[in-house]
Amino acid sequence: RGTSGVDFEKTNVFAQGYGLTNSVLGPLRSDIETHNMTYSVFTQWDASLPSDFTLTAGASANFLEYSIIDRMANTGNPTHADGSGRKTFDPVVTPRVALSKLFGPHFSAYASVSQGYSPPTSSDAVIPFTGEPNTGLKPERATQYEIGSKGSFLGERLSYQLSLFDMRVSDKLTPQGVFDTDGTVLYSYTVNAGDQKDR
C-alpha cells in the first residue's frame, strides 16, 4: 500500500524599508516584491514482509524558486542598483527508508534513515536593511538515523515510546550581524554557516 501526491505553494511578499535615525523615520530605502514558489512531488510505500517485518520506502523531489522585483529601480531613481532577479535552487531529493518488526500485538521496534531539507524563507531572500537580494543562500539539508520501540502494558492502560536518533544538519541557516565601528549591531541577514549535530 502507498500514497503519492503533489504539493504547491506560492507566497507574495511586499516589503518596504525606511531609515530610522534617533527614533525619526527617514526616507524610503527599499521597496521589494518577492514571489516565492515551492512545490514537491512525493511518494511513500509500505511492503509487508515475512516474520512480521514491514519495509517503508519513500522520497520527495522538492523545488524552490524566488522572483524578486526591485521597485526602487525606476527612471525616477537612476542611481539605484537594480536588485531584481530570479533565484532557482537545484531540485532536492529527500529519501526515507524504514524497517519495523512486530513482537506480538503490543510491541514493535524500528530503524529508519531519512533525509530532509529546509529552504530559505522569502524573508531570508532579501537583506531587509539594504533591500539587496541575498543570492548566496542554499537550503539546509539533514540526514537522520533513528532506532526505537513502541508498545503497551497492562491491557493497553500504559504505553511507551522510546527512540534514539542522530541528526546531522549541513549548510545551517544562521543570522549574521553587521556591526558599526563601536560594536553596535546595525542589521543582520541570513547566511549558511557550518554544520550541526543533534542527538
pLDDT 10s digits, 11-30: 888 888 787 777 788 888 78
The C-alpha cell at 31 is: 521597496
Query: What global pTM score does this model have?
Result: 0.70
- Give me the phi and psi of 76, to 5 degrees please: -80, -5
The C-alpha cell at 192 is: 549558511
Task: Using the CB atoms, write b or e for 78-106: b if 16+ within 10 Å.
Answer: eeeeebeeebebeebebebebebeeeeee
Q: Would you say 87 and 65 are in contact if contact means Cβ atoms under 8 Å apart?
A: yes
- List, for residues 53-79, the tens digit of each pLDDT value: 999 999 999 998 888 888 888 888 888
Provide CB contacts within 8 A for 104, sequence distance 6+. none
Q: State what percent of residues in the chain have pLDDT above 70.
A: 98
The C-alpha cell at 10 is: 506560492
Four-residue CA torsion sign, 13, 73, 124, 36: positive
Which one-letter amino acid corresponds to residue 135? Answer: T
Q: What Rg, from alpha-carbon coordinates, does the chain have?
A: 24
Q: For residue 121, give the DSSP letter.
A: P
- The yes-or-no verdict on residue 131 having pLDDT over 70 is no
Nearest to 51 by CA among 107, 2, 100: 100
Length of the chain: 199
- The yes-or-no verdict on residue 128 having pLDDT over 70 is no
